[in-house]
Homo-oligomer: A and B are copies of this chain.
Amino acid sequence: MGDIPVTVSSIKQAAEFTGLSEDTIRYYEKIGLLPYADRKASGHRTYSKHQLQGMIFLTRLKATGMTLEEMKRFRMLYEKGEASLPERVSILMEHKNRIQNEIDRLLETQKMIDYKIDNYKEVLVNPDLNNKWKSPYAD
């Protein structure tokens, strides 16, 4: 006995679930980032829970700076099956490293902003400081 395809969602529901717009989902399919979706007899797209979860994962990758091209490459590897697992692992690890670098940069900038806010607050309390003492980033 074969699997029963559990294709439950319309594109509208998929959009609600993933936070993507319907247009964006169609666009992703058009550029090959998402596989050609199953259609009902009417031609309307239909999505399984599994596919929706895959889409959510893609949105996480996108939200953390992966380009559509890289995501597409990742999906292509997935389609190739198990033999591509090591390469998929290395793509994910590389992306994780990029995320770490991004976090480091964000933390540094937060510090810089704190420093600048402190300067601003000192000037607010004692405006004379504004011209007498200029720190880096004090402008």
Any chain B CB within 8 A of the CB of A44?
no
Q: Are B103 and A117 in contact (CB under 8 A)?
A: no
- Segment of A5-13, A18-26, A122-130 engaged in the interface with chain B: A122-130
| Closest chain B residue to A88, Cβ basis | B120
User: Which residues between 51 and 100 of chain A lie within 8 Å of chain B, taking CB atoms?
Assistant: 53-54, 56-57, 60-61, 63-64, 78, 82, 85-86, 88-89, 92-93, 95-96, 99-100
Partner of A103, one of B107, B112, B137: B107
How many protomers of this protein does the assembly include? 2
Q: How far is the CA of A123 from the CA of B83 in the complex (A)?
A: 11
Chain A 101-129 near chain B by CB (<8 Å), digits 1 or 0: 01101111110111011001101100100
Inside 8 A of A108's CB, which chain B residues have their CB?
60
Q: How far is the CA of A112 from the CA of B126 in the complex (A)?
A: 48
Partner of A123, one of B82, B130, B134: B82
| Closest chain B residue to A135, Cβ basis | B53
- 11 contacts across the A-B interface (CB closer than 8 A): A54-B139, A56-B137, A57-B116, A57-B137, A64-B109, A85-B123, A89-B120, A92-B116, A92-B117, A96-B110, A103-B107
Closest 8 CB pairs of A and B: A64-B109, A60-B109, A96-B113, A54-B139, A57-B137, A89-B120, A99-B106, A92-B113
